[in-house]
Amino acid sequence: MAKRVEFAAGRKKKTDAFDIVNYIVFILIGLIVLVPIWKVVVDSFNAVGVYKFQLFPNEPTLDGYRTIIHTSKLYQPFVNSVVTTILGTLLGLVMSTLGGYVLSQYDMPGRNALAYFLLFTMIFSGGMIPEYLVMKQLGLVNKMWILVVKHGMNVYNLVLMRNFFEGIPGSLFEAAKIDGCSPMGIFFRIVLPLSKAALASIGLMFAVTVWNDYSTVQIYITNRDQVNFQYILRVMVMDGDTPTTAYKVSQSTLYYSAIVCAILPFMLLYPFLQKYFVKGVNVGAVKE
């Protein structure tokens, strides 16, 4: 990468027409992505709904957010989202590190059988309805824990984790073994500390999946105490089913504030953790 970059920088001494076009294209693409997001943020602070794009709210207010914080039908789903996301991420990480570590042991008998056992689930699935019936038998219908259970395991992420573990030099394990470290000790003292970056990116992938899930909630949960924030957002904006609140707030302010709340956690983390967000896909993409 570095070599190519230096070369690219050295290659273009003068700015030609193409560079100017390129800058214009860059700005256009950036605006196409950012203008909608900026409008959402601005309008969430705007007391009166306007159709125009404004750089800053002309009648600034926090009523939208105040309404969400004080209306239990709106903040309860937010809390549910936070709780399920944290638990789902933790469970997902535990499952993919355990499974990935076992699959990375080349000399283990039955390793291939285990791999096929896992990979088969990527090709064939029971489908929406059999899954629903099983979850019903497990008593998870109408419980927000369904989100944790459903996303607590992801074979693709497990394979990514295994690929990462396979990249750790084997001599480290041998040295530890010679020093009398048990297999469990190797896992906790050597493998996990070395895997912080992989844990961060795969953890983020789990977190994004659980937080953003809407269809699972729509399928499994009818009880309004158990839904997550994505569900409430969809019900409000698309079905026009706004919960009654004690606050006087314009509809559009409330809607846009809800959208901001639904993207807030990741927007806050994104600038700092961007490399981890992107790394996950590159582990899979640049493997060869």
Partner 1 sequence: MFLPVLIYVLIVYYWPMLGVRYAFYDYTLKKIEFVGLKHFTKMFSDADFWKAFINTLELSIIKLLITTGTAVIVSVFINEMANLFAKKVLQTVIYLPHFMSWTVTAAIFTLFLSTSSTGFVNETLKNWGWIKESIDFMHETALWRPVYYLVNIWKETGWGTVIFLATLSGINPELYEAADIDGATRLQKIWYVTVPELLNTIIIVLILNLAKVLNLFESVFVMYNNRVFEVSDVISTYIYRKTFMTAIPNYGYSTAVGLFKSIVGCALVLICNRASKKVRGHGII
Return the number of the residue (51 or 106) whose C-beta is nearest partner 1.
51
- Residue number, 184 or 246, with CB nearest to partner 1: 184
**Least Å distance between CB 217 and partner 1?**
10
Paired tokens of 50:
């306007």
H-type alpha helices, 104-181: 111-123, 128-137, 145-151, 155-166, 170-178
Q: Which is nearer to partner 1, 118 or 176 (CB)?
A: 118
Q: Which two tokens stand for residue 169?
A: 């030099």
Q: How far is the CB of 278 from partner 1 (least distance, A)?
A: 6
DSSP label at residue 243: P
Residue 245 CB, nearest approach to partner 1 (Å): 18
6-42 burial string, b = 16+ CB within 10 Å, else e? eeeeeeeeeeeeeeeeeeeeeeeeeeeeeeeeebebb
Contacts 24+ apart (CB under 8 A), 22-30: none
Q: How far is the CB of 65 from partner 1 (least distance, A)?
A: 16
Q: Which is nearer to partner 1, 60 or 284 (CB)?
A: 284
First to last CA, the chain: 16
Contact of 213 with 230, CB cutoff 8 Å: yes
**If you ran DSSP here, which 8-state letter would residue 54 be given?**
-
Structure tokens at 125: 């699935």
Nearest to 208 by CA among 95, 88, 38: 88
Closer to partner 1 at the Cβ: 5 or 246? 5
Q: Which is nearer to partner 1, 198 or 204 (CB)?
A: 204
What is the nearest approach in angstroms of partner 1 to the Cβ of residue 254? 11
Shortest Å, Cβ 171 to partner 1: 22
